[in-house]
A and B are shown apart, each in its own frame.
Chain A
Amino acid sequence: MLRYLIRRLLAAAAILLVITVITFVIFFALPSDPALLACGKTCSPSRLAEIKHSLGLDQSFLTQFWEFFKGLFAGRDFGDQSVRVHCGTPCLGISFQTDTPVLSTLLGDFPADLSLGLGAAVFFLILGVGLGTLAAVRRGRAADKAAVGLALLGVSVQIYFVGLLLLYLFVDKWQILPASGYTPLTQDPGAWFQGLILPWATLVIVYLALYTRLTRSSMLEVFAEDYMRTARAKGLSAVKVVLKHGLRAAITPIITIFGMDVGSLIGGSAVITESVFGINGIGKLAVDSVQNSDLPVILGTTLFAATFVVLANVVVDVVYGLVDPRVRLA
């Protein structure tokens, strides 16, 4: 197991390296110039050149990439001699726009995505698996059709529509909830929860569909397996047969998808939800950074999100190996 883990983690690191290179390359293909944006309105060519130099943008692509790569392990210094800014390991660079270290900005925005993503994930997993199981057990009947229909509705509506509709109903019209937004858990648990109810609900409505259908079809496949008949033949109650024998076997494909979804959600993929509900998370940070041609932040958010997805992959594979004894982690 340990050897397997080490191999997977090395592979993950390799993937992240490739992603970094690709992001770097894409950025260089963009038409906008961060030095020009930093320089401001009346920017003389000599001034522009100076700024380009201080941002390190006049170096070759390989040099810039190498500097960045080195910084990940050894930290980096930026700026003029007497007022150097040191960026500690792992150095993801300093934002062109805010002059703050990218890593600290990411870590500052991370709790919002963590709360948003994990919270929603817990809800849509439980609800989705529950509804899917119900639909499978009551296949063909009203409950099945209702569950699948609801799920279909959820996946068809656009996420921004759901978000805005919920906002309109709960905050503006009925005034049940205060304005949404992120309050740190450590600061005010009550406000943290209240501010996240609607964003969670939005994500759940959209993701629920996937998990309901996935669970349903996985369960139906499992129901056709011989061991389910054996379990009944042993005299087990229907509940035990469905949950202990059935769900346990059906859950494996769901684990895979769930891990990936959680990984990408906490890495900041809920961009639209963040922007509808005014949550300053990594998704919003990523979008802003692209608009501002803020390369260090673009790189940072990309790597951050990629890291979580890649790690989630590894975790999922390990869990899979733990759940299904037939899988030999090699």
Chain B
Amino acid sequence: MTRRRRSIALAATAVAIALGATACGGSSSTTGSGSPTKGGTLTVLDHADFDHLDPQRVYTTEGSSMDQELVRTLTGWDETGSRPRLVGDLATDTGTPSKGDTVWTFHLRKGVTWQDGTAVTAQDVKYGVERTFSPDINGGPPYASQWLVGGSSYKGPYSGKELASVQTPDASTIVFHLDQPVADFNQTTAMPGWSAVPKAHDTGSTYDTHVWSDGPYMIKSYTKNKELVLVRNTAWKQSTDPIRQQNVDEIDVKLGQDQSAIDQQIKSDAGTAQTSIMQWPIAGSDLTTISGDPSLKSRLYDIPAPGINYLAINTTRVKDLKVRQAIEDAIDKTTVRGAFGGSAYGDYASTMLSPGIGGQRKFNLYSTDPAGDLTKARALMKQAGNPRLTMSLAVENTTTEEHFADAVKTSLGRIGITVNITPIDAANYFSTVDNVKNQYDLTWVDWIADWPNASTVLPVLFDGRQIAKLPQSNQDLSYLDDPAVNAQIDKIAKMTDVKQADAAYGALDEQIMKDAAVVPLMYMKFSELAGSKVGGVIPDPILAEPSLVHAYVKS
């Protein structure tokens, strides 16, 4: 999952000496501020337009968060408690697995309707999922095509054909046949793509601006790159929806203003800013002042992201394990984090699974001092024969990452490694480094899990067999292809007990870390600011967004 051009989000955190952001956790103000008031307009300020609102195409956190107001999915997350809880959204519950987690059955709630009053049927859900396969409906996550039987040859519903592995025995039952066991499939179905789309109102590649709603709000108008206006969907019923509320009359999303200008506007809390909120994180240059300002504390939301900022070491080029382990100990994470904006940015990481991801096991195989353990690193290099090495480092072409690259260069210079920095244009960064034709010794990466389970982190990032399958969008930037790891991945995938799988993933994390294929740097935190009259904001740690499902504006 990405934020649209997430490099901007991270690059925006400036080189600033962190004053120690005290506003940690903010206020999970869902219940604290009293009962929600009805009415009014909530303004959302975004510096860029959504990649898509079409639920089968959206693959960014902002788009997914906004889609929650329009589109209901089979399952969903109730985030009002201390930890997110998976519940049935369109479905009555979190689904029934069978045949070793290869068949999943969901029953739909009664009484859920479209904005025109017609009922949402299982056929609609099937149609929605089938749309994923059309080349016109591109951009979304690959799970449907990966797991549904016959997915590799199906070309979408526009050709007139249906996908047999998605069955609808009646109007309120839907059954999925998967070609492999997926124990947490019901977490996948919480993603926007697993939602209903009515065939009669499908406009194909222009559906982004014509999304037909079964949620509490519907599109009144959407001018791309300018403004999105949502109004109450009168056909929506609270009684059928355990996740959302319908408090404000209108949600007005204004697109295209500079992020720093948005920060200042909401900070000033004047006029409509009082009822405004942002979706993108506070710009790096403003982060320190805002997070250090006690008067803003009550409306500042620090949301932990299920993600990891790390440095991938190319195991096919840096072959010596001792050298890789020396790198782990040599990197000074304090300067690295400083480059990204300081402690407001997030905590130091020693594992690839971040807190909040099911399966995280806490361990630290290398230096416990975030500044690194130079003695141990030098000793390891000596064991490796004290080679004088030169390595290439790929980073985004932004000020933040320039500083990051310098920090790495300095750290590794201390153990005799000369680092040559290759800055790559931020807009094309991932499409460049993900291409197997472009390989570097060290690559900067960040990764946010599609749902908070290790299954969306470790297999994608470390299964070497994927490299050949996806040569243009390879995510295994350590180029790790360890048969033991691959076998373990397969084994865990077959486990039907989620707890068992979680424990196994934790062990796998440690196994990979022993191999020093990656240097985990920081777990990420995103800070958002809202106006003083905005209430009901729930920090969503799955999308790392301020969830608006319970939002209201005080009069």
Contact = CB atoms under 8 A, between A and B. Distances in A.
Nearest to A292: B427
Nearest to B153: A46
Nearest to A105: B224
B304 interface: no
Contacts of B425: 291
Interface residues of A, number: 42
Given A40-B140, A42-B475, A278-B257, A80 B431 contact: no
Contact of A100 (B135, B155, B209, B472): B209
B470 A82 contact: no
Nearest to A100: B224
A99 B473 contact: no
A181 B258 CA distance: 11
Nearest to B431: A36
Contacts of B203: 83, 85
A169 to B, nearest CB: 15
A99 B134 CA distance: 15
Interface stretch (B31-39, B88-96, B156-164, B168-176): B156-164
B512 to A, nearest CB: 20
Interface centre among A38, A44, A85 (most CB of B within 10 A): A44
A70 interface: no
A106 to B, nearest CB: 12
A54 to B, nearest CB: 4
Interface string A26-62: 0000011100111111111111101101100000000
Given A36-B473, A98-B225, A100-B224, A80 B256 contact: no
Contacts of A293: 428
Contacts of B59: 40-41
B205 A45 contact: no
A40 B137 CA distance: 11
Contact of B152 (A36, A46, A291): A46
Nearest to B271: A178
Contacts of B140: 40
Given A38-B139, A40-B139, A278-B256, A45 B472 contact: yes
Interface residues of B, number: 48
B142 A44 contact: yes
Contact of A36 (B141, B209, B472): B472
Contacts of B427: 291-292
Interface centre among B140, B152, B470 (most CB of A within 10 A): B470
A98 B434 CA distance: 24
B402 to A, nearest CB: 19
B467 to A, nearest CB: 12
Interface string A78-108: 1111111100000000100011100001001
Given A278-B257, A280-B226, A85 B141 contact: no
A44 B135 CA distance: 12
A44 B153 CA distance: 13
A99 B158 contact: no
Contact of B136 (A43, A80, A105): A80
B469 interface: yes
A32 B430 CA distance: 11
Contact of B205 (A36, A50, A83, A278): A83
B158 A83 contact: yes
Contacts of B475: 41-42
Nearest to B143: A42
A44 B431 contact: no
B166 to A, nearest CB: 19
B159 A45 contact: no
Nearest to A44: B470
Contacts of A257: none
A62 to B, nearest CB: 23
A8 B225 CA distance: 37
A179 interface: yes
Contacts of B204: 79-80, 82-85
Nearest to A167: B261
Contacts of B431: 32-33, 36-37
B138 interface: yes
Contacts of A40: 59, 138-142, 473
A38 B138 contact: yes
Interface in B201-237: 202-206, 208-209, 223-226
Interface centre among A46, A94, A100, A293 (most CB of B within 10 A): A100
Contacts of B208: 98-99
B52 to A, nearest CB: 9
Contact of B206 (A36, A44, A85): A85
Contacts of B240: none
Contacts of B206: 85, 99-100
Contacts of A45: 469-472
B134 to A, nearest CB: 6
Contacts of A37: 431
Interface in B102-131: none
A108 B138 contact: no
Nearest to B5: A291
A108 B141 contact: no
Contacts of B469: 44-45
A43 B473 CA distance: 6
Interface string A177-217: 00101000000000000000000000000000000000000
B142 A42 contact: yes
A46 B142 CA distance: 12
B143 to A, nearest CB: 9
A170 to B, nearest CB: 14
B256 A280 contact: yes
Contacts of A33: 431
A51 B140 CA distance: 12
Nearest to B152: A46
B49 interface: yes
A82 to B, nearest CB: 5
A278 B261 contact: yes
B1 to A, nearest CB: 8
B155 A79 contact: no
B450 to A, nearest CB: 10
Contacts of B2: 41
7 contacts: A39-B138, A44-B469, A44-B473, A80-B136, A83-B204, A105-B224, A181-B257
The 5 lowest CB-CB distance pairs between A and B, nearest first, are: A83-B204, A80-B158, A50-B135, A54-B135, A43-B473
Given A42-B141, A42-B473, 14 more contacts: A33-B431, A38-B139, A45-B472, A80-B156, A82-B158, A85-B205, A99-B205, A100-B209, A179-B261, A278-B256, A278-B258, A280-B225, A291-B425, A291-B427
